[in-house]
Amino acid sequence: MTNPNRNATVLRPAQRGLESFNAHRQDRTTTHWFTWRHLRCKITETRHYLRHGWTMLQLEVVASRDKPCPLTSTGYLAHGLDEDELARTGGAVTFFRAWMERAAQSNAYKMAEFRWRQGNLFDHAGVEEEPTP
């Protein structure tokens, strides 16, 4: 037996074009911006279309000047949350601000922030020293 669709080319959604693939997300997605302790953050809030009552929050640190973030070392964090719980906290921005404040109380973050404020005395920022004759 042969498969009649064997010669057919099947494209993944990304290959067909992201605009059509992500069109269903645009009406469910809200973007929020906020600044927390000199960190400029972007939150993308997307209501889930398969599990009603569920929201996906994505945090991106877009401007930090190398300042540490208490929630992520990479500058990106995805977090799923119940819509009712998100509403009780006051929304996405309030939720992340409170979470960052709690995480900023940890000893690890306090040490990372101290090192950031102090700076690295041995970092020459790419400046090459002249060899001494």
- Residues with Cβ within 8 Å of 34's Cβ and at least 6 positions away in sequence, in order, are 41, 43, 93, 96, 97
The pair of structure tokens assigned to 43 is 């939150």
Taking only the tens place, the pLDDT of each residue in 112-125 is: 888 888 876 666 55
Taking only the tens place, the pLDDT of each residue in 5-41 is: 555 555 565 555 655 555 555 567 889 999 998 889 9
Whether the pTM exceeds 0.85: the reply is no
